[in-house]
Amino acid sequence: MKFQTPAGHNPIDRMSVVGQPLDRIDGPLKTTGTAPYAYEQHDAAPDAAYGHVVGAGIAKGRIRRLDIKAAERAPGVLAVITADTAGPLEVGPHNTVPLLGGPEIRHYHQAVALVVAESFEAARAAAGRVRIEYEAHAGAYDLEAARTTATAPEANAQMGEPDTQVGDFLGAFADAPVRLDETYTTPDQSHMMMEPHASIARWDDGTLTLWTSTQMVEWCARGIAKTLRMDRSKVHVISPYIGGGFGGKLFLRADALLAALGARATGRPVKVALHRPLIANNSTHRPATIQRVRLGATRDGVITAIGHESWSGDQPGGGPETAVSQTRLLYAGANRLTAMRLAVLDLPEGNSMRAPGEAPGMMALEIAMDEMAEKLRLDPVEFRIRNDTQVDPENPERPFSARPLITCLQTGAAQFGWQRRDARPGRVKDGQWLVGLGMAAAFRNNLPMTSGARVRLDGDGRITVETDMTDIGTGSYTIIAQTAAEMMGVRMDQVEVRLGDSTYPVSAGSGGQFGANNATSGVYAACIGLREEVARRLGFNSQDADFADGQVRSGNRSAPLASAAARGEIVAEDRIEYGDLHKTHQQSTFGSHFVEVAVDGATGEVRVRRMLAVCAAGRILNPKSARSQVIGAMTMGVGAALMEHLKVDTRRGFFVNHDLASYEVPVHADIPHQEVIFLDETDPMSSPMKAKGVGELGICGVAAAVANAIYNATGVRVRDYPITLDTYLDRLPDVA
């Protein structure tokens, strides 16, 4: 089904199931610990051996000598895989660096060996006996130092052009009566999802089955096929449950490749999990940025010049952190400039992490907006409202499909009690605590992606949905069941959803907050096909047939849905494809974040006291699972503001704090009451579901709102994240 004209009235609009805050249908499996994650597919591979990954001990250079003899002789060891013994390998379509290194080493903890043994303990012990001599080369590890060598990255579909310019930015900025020119930095961050990267591989007559933890089943299948130089049809990827990804599991990683190599070498199924201390340096991370924001405005707060430049680094062949994305779209301003520059760094590969681009971009832009509002003596909510735009400011002939940013800002301000804020910093005290309020806009794009599904109707009136869509903890099972139930007029318990299997139709997968809208739209398309076939078999006109309560009605006739399949199952398959609507209309999601913090006047400790997010993201398919996405994202935003920081050892080129003891993320005690408001929005331009996504909108702007609240509390402006005590303690005002 090609979606090319705005969606008219359709069966989803009934919203008897879609749009309801239903419990997750996978909830009981998760809460009882019985959902089989990749490492736990014991039934599929009861005789699996265990692989333990050895990571490189240098960041850049060569292996001079790799001695595996002692490891091979260790008790229980079945095989030791290295680049020497693995056979020819290519680099997969989404990988920048070979997943199995040697003799050349491209980054610290790049995998250089897999030890396979009868037990996890035996494999781990033997891995300690692999002896490696390196020849270390000098590398570039410091973004600030490498910044002067950065160049414009090549344009691509995801990021567009590296540079955009409208009007005369430099002239307008120079002429602006009120100007801001500040530089902000965001650190490298690690996804640190709960479930590590994990896979079990099994070979049967040249066919590889991978039980793995991946956000994008088809990307993983293509990645392993390319890497192993085999036919895609000989790869079967299964990924029904995933313990978080955040972008770290978008494509093939070392666990899956090494499990496949280990299984091939031993003739046994092999399971591999990346042990936690390996993940930060072995897998991808969100790259650090240096961002310069320049704003020029009239004295009454109209932006006349807006400029945003971002520097980031990556391995040769990698890409930039697209931190200027939102600045191309969020605020009006006749004269504009954005630019991305990319330096070569020999750190581990950078890649997507939850809201790549906008998440770190908003961390800078939305502090800058707060600073500029103060210069203008304008309320920061009002400053944003004055600079709203209903069209793409770089291409004014493109309107937004829907853009209630002002409503998000006003609703949030009213709900949060923003009018009680004292704009003068450091004025509100609560005992030893300095109390402040901060806010930011939220913005993230909506991404249309082709997505397929197959639906079946059996003689009992039950619907089965099959798609390779994944549920990374977001609620995909539930919203897909809701979609099928709505479309076919059956109860939720009459729908079975099968996900995460590469034998099912290829879906959008989970990423970029595009999963919910696109995957359900694919199910919608397949259900339209199923409805047509049901109507045909019942002799009804499919155009006016109504599917509800297990019945199909047309005119004054009706028949049980199940009767259509009395003589055999009916199967329909289709996919949603998108025409030009997202080109003629800019599709984005909007919101606002409001935060109250208290800062201890003596110690500088920050406590977040209240948080509110207001989101406009098209139709909300399930307010309960959507709320969970947003409060999770808000929590991650607090981590970005106050804690998350992969610390680079700039001499040896690695992330030092590579475990959850030293890479800090918020815990329950750090997070107060959180409130989420969804505006009632349907976006007929986005898809037949009229939905968009919220999983990333919820993080975009949070960290800046926290930073702005800290400023309001203390008068201390911190422009380098994370905002830790050491960055401001000496600047705290005296609390007498």
Residues that bind ligand MOS (CB under 6 A): 215, 245-247, 250, 352-354, 356, 511-512
Beta strands in 480-556 (DSSP E): 495-498, 546-548, 551-554
Q: Which CB sits closer to ligand MOS, 187 or 604?
A: 187
Min dist. Cβ of residue 524 to ligand MOS (A): 22
**487 touches 534 (CB < 8 A):** no
Q: CA 714, 717, 721: angle at the middle one, nearest 5?
A: 115
Q: Which CB sits closer to ligand MOS, 92 or 245?
A: 245
Min dist. Cβ of residue 350 to ligand MOS (A): 12
Phi/psi for 518 (5° steps) reads -75, -40
The DSSP secondary-structure symbol of 383 reads: H
Q: Which CB sits closer to ligand MOS, 438 or 512?
A: 512
Element (H, E) at 173: helix 169-175
Min dist. Cβ of residue 677 to ligand MOS (A): 24
SS3 call for 731: helix
Q: Which CB sits closer to ligand MOS, 214 or 502?
A: 214
**Cross-strand partners of 615:** 591, 678
Listing DSSP states for 643-710 in one string gives T----EETTTTEES--STTTS----GGG--EEEEEE-----TTT-TT-B---TTTTTTTHHHHHHHHH
Q: Which CB sits closer to ligand MOS, 354 or 692?
A: 354
**Cross-strand partners of 731:** none
Min dist. Cβ of residue 379 to ligand MOS (A): 33
**Cross-strand partners of 31:** none
Min dist. Cβ of residue 228 to ligand MOS (A): 25
Q: Which CB sits closer to ligand MOS, 500 or 511?
A: 511
Q: Give the up-direction half-sphere exposure of residue 398: CA atoms within 13 A in the CB hemisphere.
A: 16
Min dist. Cβ of residue 104 to ligand MOS (A): 28
Tell me the residue number closest to ligand MOS, measured at CB: 247
Phi/psi for 103 (5° steps) reads -70, -20
Q: Which CB sits closer to ligand MOS, 216 or 608?
A: 216
Written as one letter, the residue type at 511 is G
Q: Alpha carbon of 10 to those of 239, 450, 545: distances in Å?
A: 32, 20, 12
Listing DSSP states for 559-578 in one string gives EEGGGGGTTS-EEEEEEEEE
Cα–Cα distance between 80 and 113 in angstroms, integer?
7
Min dist. Cβ of residue 318 to ligand MOS (A): 15
Helices (H), 176-272: 217-227, 254-266
Cα–Cα distance between 736 and 733 in angstroms, integer?
9
Q: Which of 486, 596, 644, 696 is catalytic?
A: 696
User: Is 161 known to be catalytic?
Assistant: no
Q: Which CB sits closer to ligand MOS, 52 or 222?
A: 222
Min dist. Cβ of residue 167 to ligand MOS (A): 32
Min dist. Cβ of residue 515 to ligand MOS (A): 9
Q: Alpha carbon of 441 to those of 171, 292, 408, 453, 579: distances in Å?
A: 27, 19, 8, 35, 30
Q: Which CB sits closer to ligand MOS, 404 or 618?
A: 618
Extract the tokens encoding 472.
């990374």
SS3 call for 439: strand
Q: Which residues are catalytic?
A: 696
